[in-house]
Amino acid sequence: MELVFSKHAVEQMLKRHISPEEAERLVDHPDGEFAQSKDKKVYYKRFPKRKDNLLAAVVIQQSAKVLEIITVMHHFEVRI
């Protein structure tokens, strides 16, 4: 599956010091995920070397072979 990044996601990754490799690991091997809306999913993952809680990415399935990260977050909390 190809992973692409929106302009906004790239800006947020730079601002929050999230590497493309971390974003890819987050989506490929999340600690969890949930639907945010009909077409968006949120993936989240804890990176032990980071001190900013969970990282999360909001992702849209563009096609059967393409996922687009539209934003990334840090200091993320999962509410149950």
Q: What is the CATH number of domain 2-74?
A: 3.10.450
Using DSSP's 3-state secondary structure scheme, residue 9 falls into: helix
Report pLDDT for 67: 94
pLDDT in tens, 39-60: 999 999 999 999 999 999 999 9
Put simply, whether the predicted model's pTM sits higher than 0.75 gets the answer yes
DSSP per residue, 11-67: HHHHHHT--HHHHHHHHHS-SEEEESSSSEEEEEEE-TT-SSSEEEEEEEE-SSSEE
Report pLDDT for 60: 94
